[in-house]
Every structure is written in C-alpha cells, then in structure tokens.
Amino acid sequence: MSYPTTNQRQPKVLRVIFLSFIALIITSASATLGALTALLSPLKPEQPQNSSMVLNSLWRDRFRFRLSRPVNILVMGIDPPLPNQEEDGAIFGGRSDSMILVNFNPSDRHLNLLSIPRDTEVFIPGMGVGKINEANYWGGASLATEVVADTLNKVQINRYVRVSTGAFKELVNLLGGVEVFVPYPMSYRDNTQQLEIDLSPGWQTIDGDQADHFARFRSDAYGDIGRIQRQQALMEAIRERLQSPDVLRRIPQIIRVMLKYVDTNLDFEEMLTLVKFGLNLEPQQVRMVMLPGRDMGGYTSYWVVDDAARDRIMAQYFRVDSTGFVLPGPMERSGYQELSKRIKIAVQNASGNPQAAERVADYLFKQGFNNVYVVPGLPYTMRSTQIIVQGGDLGSAELLQEHIGFGTVRASSTGAINSDFTIRVGDDWQQRF
C-alpha cells in the first residue's frame, strides 16, 4: 500500500465507494463490500447463483491491490455544527462525538478497533489539558490525529476519516432499521441541544433517530463508558443487518448519501486496498476494545487513562510498545504463563437453564477465583459460551478458556463494564459441568 505525498482529487463516482465503506467499516460484511466494488464493474454475471460468491469473484478478478503492511486510520464521528456554523460548511469542525482507531493488520488478518472515550483527559498543544473530543474543534483532523498519537504511545496514524452525525441516522434508515436490546428505560431531555430521548426496554427494531438516541444516551451510572458499549452493540446489529440480501439493492443510495457526510484524506488506490482487505474478513476477525481507564467524576468528568493497561493493548493490538517502538511480528496472543486468580470475572446467563450462571460462578470460586460475580442474564439463549474480553487482555482470556475447558474468546467491550472478562454461559456449559 502506498501513501501519496500530494493530494489528488479522485472522480466522485470512485471516491464515494470507500466513503460508504468507512461508514460501514466496523460492520465489515463481505457481501456488502463486494457490492460496493461491483458498482464499478461493467461486467454482469449471466446467472448469479449466490450474490456474495459472485461479488467476491468480481472483486478478485477486477482489482489487484494488496495490503502489505499494517495501516492505522483514525475514524471520528463529529458533533453537529452550531447554528451559526451551518452556513459556513463547517460540518466537520465540531467536537468528536466518537473516536475509534482502526488497525488493518495483514500479518494476522485482523481488523482491530480501539474506542476512545470522548472525555479522555489529554494535553492539547496550544490549549493545555482538556478532553480529547475538543482536539478536532480547535485544530481539525491534523490536531486530533496528533493528540491521539501522543496519547497512544506515539502510534503512527496513517490516515483519518471524519463522519458527520447525520450519516449514521441515514445509514440505519437505509438499512430498514436495526434490531437492538434496550436494557432499561432511556429517558432524557436537553433543550439546549434540542435532544429528547425516550426508549422503552426490550428487544426492538429501531430507526435512525432512535439508533442515534441509543448511541448518545449518557444519563446512567456508566456515562460515556456505557455509551461506548452501546455503540459497539449497534455496530454488531448493523453487521447482522448487512447480512440480509435485500440490503444489496440499497447500496447505490447508500453511496449517494455517504458522499456528503464523509471527509477523508485517503486516495482511491488506498480505498480499494482497504476494501479488498476487509472483503475476506470473518466476524471473529474483527476485534473491538476500549481504551482502559477510570472515570474521575465531578463536574468535568474526565476519563483518566490506565497507563499500564493502555500499554498492554497498544502492544497486543497495535504492536507498539510504551516508547513508540514498533514491535515485530503478529500479535502475541498469550501474555502470561499463569492465569491470575485476582481477575474480575462477571458471569452472565445466556442458556436455557436459569441456574447456569450460578453454577459456573460457583465452580470458578471453588477454583480460587475470588472476584467472581453474577450479572443479569440475557433475554435470549446462546448455543455456545462466549468469553468477552472486556479489558482487552487476549492472553489471559485464552488462559481462562483453557481453564474452564469450553467457550470461545471474543474481543469486544460489550460485557459487564467493570469486569476484566464476562463469561456469557451458553447451552454448551452442560458438556463441562
């Protein structure tokens, strides 16, 4: 993959392909990514048997770009402009409502995503100590990129993508809504932002406005951290929706919509290279973690980074040590030889047996894990147990998996917020107990 030194304007009909891809980057569904590339192809298969298979074949035949080294892209969702900014076209000049560092890693064929809380305490050059979401407001994408790199051990950030908030709502509407589980009543009103949130608990299909409310709600005990967790749940819901064949016909409309909502310094060749890399990824090859830290509370409510945990995540997922040195080779999956008995393990029932979580928690306690607790179960059952890597420590998660003898490791921050790991007990638990 090459990085040009000059900005080159690309034809809009080509450039917009990756704009849509970036909006969907976290959902990464092969059939949809294939559809994006097929829009450029003048070839039409005569008798398509399977849309995903045909589109994937078209991609491989038409484009030869290959990702040869890791690439880091900063993706920012930008707050709506103030009323006096709208006429100035400053839709990308607000604070960053969400911030994700995305790592495309060809060495181990994974897409790694690090969610950065918007209230993270940082030093902003020329401004002093502030919140990381202010960097784009004060200095645009350049300053935001500099601040994120400084905060994350001088990691190299190759490109940026800024998405205005309207894109997310329109995307969900174009997909026909997405299905999510609302864990509790969400009610909030802010007259200054003209924002009113009113969501009832339970499983439901939500539209674009409701999805925006679900993602932005912060009036609970977890504040911005709970918000990041819900954003990741929405990412998974969108990925599921993208598996539906009827979404493919909406791709041209999605492309037209995304054009006005995305700003990026990626060029066309880079877009195609990243699209091709994402084309063949499976869901388990997408790993999502959150920048670890603690909420200081108070009026300013800063998120203070846990330096040691950050260093571990940057080394494991982004292959950068605490000094900024790029580590050779793929991710080191096992960071420890022995599993610590002090880890915080939340156990959540997702099986047909109402006593499953208690049984697993009791087993762990008897094995010497004295920081184990049961959290409210899921409203549905799962066939397979999942070990959610809430704290980002994949090495310890694999050791935990070996210890209990079942379950699959999943890098995601959708478990119990204060845990290191959340074990979602599926119906396969009975094979072990």
- Whole-number pLDDT of residue 193: 57
pLDDT at 370 over 60: yes
- Whole-number pLDDT of residue 199: 84
Question: Which one of 77-86, 211-220, 303-312 scores highest in mean pLDDT?
Answer: 303-312
Mean pLDDT of 16-25: 42
pLDDT at 262 over 60: yes
**In Å, how far are 97, 312, 380 from 209, measured between CA atoms?**
16, 37, 26
- Whole-number pLDDT of residue 367: 93
**Residue 15: pLDDT band with limits 50, 70, 90:** very low
**Residue 183: pLDDT band with limits 50, 70, 90:** confident
Give the separation between CA 141 and CA 354, rounded to whole angstroms: 50
pLDDT at 415 over 90: no
Mean pLDDT across the chain, nearest whole number? 76
- Whole-number pLDDT of residue 356: 93
Mean pLDDT of 145-154: 96
Give the separation between CA 93 and CA 161, rounded to whole angstroms: 13
- Whole-number pLDDT of residue 200: 86
- Whole-number pLDDT of residue 49: 42
Segment 90-141, tens digit of pLDDT? 788 888 888 989 999 888 888 898 989 889 999 999 999 999 999 999 999 9
Mean pLDDT of 358-384: 91
Mean pLDDT of 331-360: 83
Mean pLDDT of 285-299: 82
Three-class secondary structure of residue 140 per DSSP: helix
- Whole-number pLDDT of residue 252: 64
Give the separation between CA 410 and CA 422, rounded to whole angstroms: 10
pLDDT at 287 over 50: yes
Segment 130-148, tens digit of pLDDT? 999 999 999 999 999 999 9
The residue written with tokens 């080294």 in the block is: 69
Among 15-24, 322-331, 389-398, whose mean pLDDT is lowest?
15-24
- Whole-number pLDDT of residue 260: 73
- Whole-number pLDDT of residue 323: 85
Residue 188 pairs in a beta bridge with: 197
pLDDT at 422 over 70: yes
- Whole-number pLDDT of residue 284: 76
pLDDT at 359 over 90: yes
pLDDT top residue among 329 and 207: 207
- Whole-number pLDDT of residue 73: 92
Q: Which of the 8 DSSP states describes residue 317?
A: H
Q: Are 429 and 347 spatial neighbours (Cβ–Cβ below 8 Å)?
A: no
Half-sphere exposure (CA, 13 Å, Cβ side) for 181?
9
The residue written with tokens 């339970």 in the block is: 202
Share of the chain above pLDDT 70, in %: 71
Mean pLDDT of 27-35: 33
**Residue 6: pLDDT band with limits 50, 70, 90:** very low
Q: Which residues of 32-66 are buried (b: 16+ CB within 10 A; e: fewer)?
A: bbbbbbbeeeeeeeeeeeebbebbbebbeeebebe
- Whole-number pLDDT of residue 55: 43
Share of the chain above pLDDT 90, in %: 26
The residue written with tokens 């299905």 in the block is: 179
Q: Give the alpha-carbon dihedral of 239, 242, 243, 249, to 10 degrees.
A: -170
Give the separation between CA 416 and CA 371, rounded to whole angstroms: 13
pLDDT at 346 over 90: yes
Cβ neighbours of residue 104 under 8 Å, at least 6 residues apart? 67, 70, 71, 72, 73, 111, 274, 277, 278
**Residue 245: pLDDT band with limits 50, 70, 90:** confident
3-state helix, strand, coil in the chain (%, to 5): 35, 20, 40
pLDDT at 31 over 90: no
Q: Provide the 10 A C-beta neighbour count for residue 184.
A: 10
pLDDT top residue among 325 and 367: 367
pLDDT top residue among 384 and 38: 384
Segment 34-87, tens digit of pLDDT? 333 333 333 233 334 444 444 444 444 445 567 888 999 998 888 876 655 555
Give the separation between CA 330 and CA 46, rounded to whole angstroms: 42
